């Protein structure tokens, strides 16, 4: 389960981690009232279950309540990477002297939690790790022993935390680890952890994700259903499709999770990026294919579509029929690459070859590799 910033901050505050005292608004008027209460100067922040809101324009520092209302109106009408903004958090603006990064997550490869500390906070940590790896200190924790004092010191030292901040930073790291453990989290992240004018370290942002396998231990957890927040994923769920939105440009349709995952890898290997994961499952009828395709076509990020079907109980001629009905009913502007193999593949290909495509660019491919390569090329235009 993911937690919105304000939900994570409530948990942080209860654990003794300093956070700004803000309130959530659902309308511009509410945002104005909160800013007035705070004395005018404030930050207005979109509450969506993803990061990078700042870059997307979802965070505004305002000088007075009127401006808070205006910015809240703008942010509440935004959609950030597919997530409409329903709420904004209004907080007193911090006087930032320095920004740090502090996070604990699970390193699956090492089968252990990893503590990450950096003096280059406020930025995208993945980017810092790539361009200035020496600025990101990682310390792996033994799941049974937990966080040991020397590891906290090591992380602070390697992240070049200023000497006078090592003590308060260490105390914070211990609190964050306690939250991580108690909440059965797979990620707890504070970015930025700001040094403010008063000399205190304050969690200006908060991110938390917990392990769904442990949800029975947290019946009262107040997070969000990420899928329910995303209109396209919600629609897919209603249609009974396994759909996950990703951030590339090649739309993927396949049957079976294994095949779809391999298709994602093949797209990556061909130099492209998948826009989604869509599994139509086994034995899909034309109707299911039609629903899946229309879902992908409604995503403006999709620049080409790859349909990769291995017919077992799924019949390739049913897939072709579904595809043709979409082409006839909808305005299809992106090129489509189809690779059909297995049960009734020949009939499927014949149906496609004989059909009137009305200007839609449709290419068939024999091999998996060729199909991926073509789809990536076509997505580039
Ligand atoms: P994210 O982009 O989704 O990670 O959202 P953040 O909550 O991290 O906010 C992005 C950036 O906005 C931060 O790195 C800060 O530079 C800035 N910011 C956030 N809160 C404040 C604040 O209270 N005062 C000031 N001056 N800047 C802030
Ligand atoms: Mn942040």
Q: Identify the DSSP state of 146.
A: B
For ligand 1, whether the C-beta of 54 sits within 6 Å is yes
> pLDDT tier at 247 (50, 70, 90 boundaries)?
confident
Q: Tell me how far apart the alpha carbons of residues 188 and 223 are, in angstroms, rounded to a whole number.
A: 13
Q: What is the pLDDT of residue 287?
A: 87
Q: Which residues of 287-305 are buried (b: 16+ CB within 10 A; e: fewer)?
A: ebbbbbbbbbbebebbbbb
**Separation of CA 204 and ligand 1 centre (Å):** 7
| Least reliable range by pLDDT among 18-22, 137-141, 309-313 | 309-313
**Separation of CA 95 and ligand 1 centre (Å):** 11
Q: Identify the DSSP state of 123.
A: S
Catalytic residue among 6, 83, 101, 243: 101
**Residue 154 tokens, joined:** 């090591």
What phi, psi does 42 have (nearest 5°)?
A: -155, 170
**Residue that the structure tokens 């009305």 belong to:** 358
For ligand 1, whether the C-beta of 192 sits within 6 Å is yes
Q: Tell me how far apart the alpha carbons of residues 61 and 42 are, in angstroms, rounded to a whole number.
A: 6
**Separation of CA 223 and ligand 1 centre (Å):** 21
Residue 17 exposure: Cα atoms within 13 Å on the Cβ side: 27
What's the mean pLDDT in 346-365?
A: 93
Question: Closest ligand 1 atom to the C-alpha of 53?
Answer: 3
Q: Identify the DSSP state of 40.
A: S
**Domains in the chain, ordered, with CATH?**
21-92 (3.30.1490.20), 96-221 (3.30.470.20), 231-380 (3.40.50.261)
- Confidence (pTM): 0.82
- pLDDT tens digits for 170-198? 999 999 999 999 999 999 999 999 999 99
Q: What is the pLDDT of residue 229?
A: 84
What's the mean pLDDT in 260-266?
A: 96
Q: What is the pLDDT of residue 61?
A: 97
Does pLDDT of 227 surpass 80?
A: no
The pick from 48, 59, 194, 203 for probing ligand 1's pocket by mutation, whose C-beta has the most ligand atoms within 8 angstroms, reads 59
- pLDDT tens digits for 73-89? 999 999 998 899 999 99
Q: What is the pLDDT of residue 68?
A: 98
Q: What share of the chain is helix, strand, coil (3-state, %, to 5)?
A: 40, 25, 35
Mean pLDDT of the chain: 94
Question: Closest ligand 1 atom to the C-alpha of 91?
Answer: 23
Which of 173, 169, 125, 130 lies closest to 148, judged by CA?
173
Q: Let me know: does 340 contact 311? Beta carbons within 8 Å.
A: yes
- pLDDT tens digits for 16-64? 999 999 999 999 999 999 999 999 899 999 999 988 899 999 999 999 9
Catalytic residue among 30, 69, 189, 318: 189
Residue 189 among the catalytic residues:
yes
Any idea of the CA torsion for 265, 266, 268, 273, to the nearest 10 degrees?
-90
Which residues make Cβ contacts (< 8 Å) with residue 301, sequence separation at least 6? Answer: 247, 248, 249, 275
Q: Where are the alpha helices (DSSP H) in the chain?
A: 5-14, 28-38, 65-76, 125-131, 149-158, 166-182, 226-229, 231-238, 257-269, 286-297, 316-329, 345-354, 368-380
Q: Where are the alpha helices (DSSP H) in 52-94?
A: 65-76
> pLDDT tier at 212 (50, 70, 90 boundaries)?
very high
Q: What is the pLDDT of residue 213?
A: 95
What's the mean pLDDT in 343-368?
A: 93
What's the mean pLDDT in 242-270?
A: 94
Does pLDDT of 158 surpass 90?
A: yes
Looking at all shown ligands, the one closest to residue 53's CA atom is 1
Question: Closest ligand 1 atom to the C-alpha of 99?
Answer: 14
What's the mean pLDDT in 349-360?
A: 92
Which of 191, 161, 222, 163 lies closest to 8, judged by CA?
222
Q: What is the pLDDT of residue 82?
A: 83
What's the mean pLDDT in 364-369?
A: 91
Q: Which residues of 230-239 are buried (b: 16+ CB within 10 A; e: fewer)?
A: bebbeebeee
Taking the CA atoms of the chain, what radius of gyration do you get in angstroms?
Answer: 24
Looking at all shown ligands, the one closest to residue 43's CA atom is 1
Which residues make Cβ contacts (< 8 Å) with residue 246, sequence separation at least 6? Answer: 264, 273, 274, 275, 276, 277
Residue 101 among the catalytic residues:
yes
What's the mean pLDDT in 313-323?
A: 93
């Amino acid at each position: 389960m993911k937690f919105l910033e304000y939900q994570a901050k409530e948990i942080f505050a209860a654990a003794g981690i300093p956070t700004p005292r803000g309130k959530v608004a659902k309308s511009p008027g509410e945002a104005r009232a909160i800013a007035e209460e705070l004395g005018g100067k404030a930050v207005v922040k979109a509450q969506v279950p993803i990061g990078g809101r700042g870059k997307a324009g979802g965070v505004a520092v305002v000088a007075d309540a009127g401006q808070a209302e205006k910015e809240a109106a703008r942010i509440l009408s935004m959609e950030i990477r597919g997530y409409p903004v329903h709420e904004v958090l209004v907080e007193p603006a911090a006087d930032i002297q320095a920004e740090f990064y502090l996070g604990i997550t699970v390193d699956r490869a090492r089968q252990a939690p990893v503590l990450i500390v950096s003096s280059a906070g406020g930025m995208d940590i993945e980017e810092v790790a790539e361009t200035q790896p020496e600025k990101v200190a990682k310390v792996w924790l033994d799941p049974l022993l937990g966080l040991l004092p020397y590891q906290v010191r090591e992380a602070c030292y390697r992240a070049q935390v200023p000497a006078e901040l090592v003590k308060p930073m260490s105390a914070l790291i211990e609190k964050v680890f306690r939250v991580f453990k108690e909440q059965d989290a797979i990620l707890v992240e504070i970015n930025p952890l700001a040094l403010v004018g008063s000399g205190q370290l304050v969690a200006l942002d908060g991110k938390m994700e917990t392990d769904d396998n442990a949800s029975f231990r947290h019946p009262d957890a107040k997070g969000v259903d990420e899928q329910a927040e995303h209109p396209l994923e919600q629609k897919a769920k209603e249609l009974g499709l396994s759909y996950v939105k990703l951030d590339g440009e090649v739309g993927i349709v396949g049957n079976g999770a294994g095949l779809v995952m391999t298709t994602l890898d093949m797209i990556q290997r061909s130099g492209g990026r998948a826009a989604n994961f869509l599994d139509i499952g086994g034995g899909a009828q034309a109707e299911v294919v039609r629903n899946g395709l229309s879902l992908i076509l409604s995503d403006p990020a999709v620049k080409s579509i790859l349909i990769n079907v291995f017919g077992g109980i799924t019949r390739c001629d049913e897939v072709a029929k579904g595809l043709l009905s979409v082409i006839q009913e909808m305005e299809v502007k992106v090129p489509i690459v189809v690779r059909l193999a297995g049960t009734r593949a020949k009939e499927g290909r014949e149906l496609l070859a004989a059909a009137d495509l009305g200007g839609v660019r449709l290419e068939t491919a024999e091999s998996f590799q060729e199909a991926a390569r073509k789809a990536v090329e076509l997505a580039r235009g």
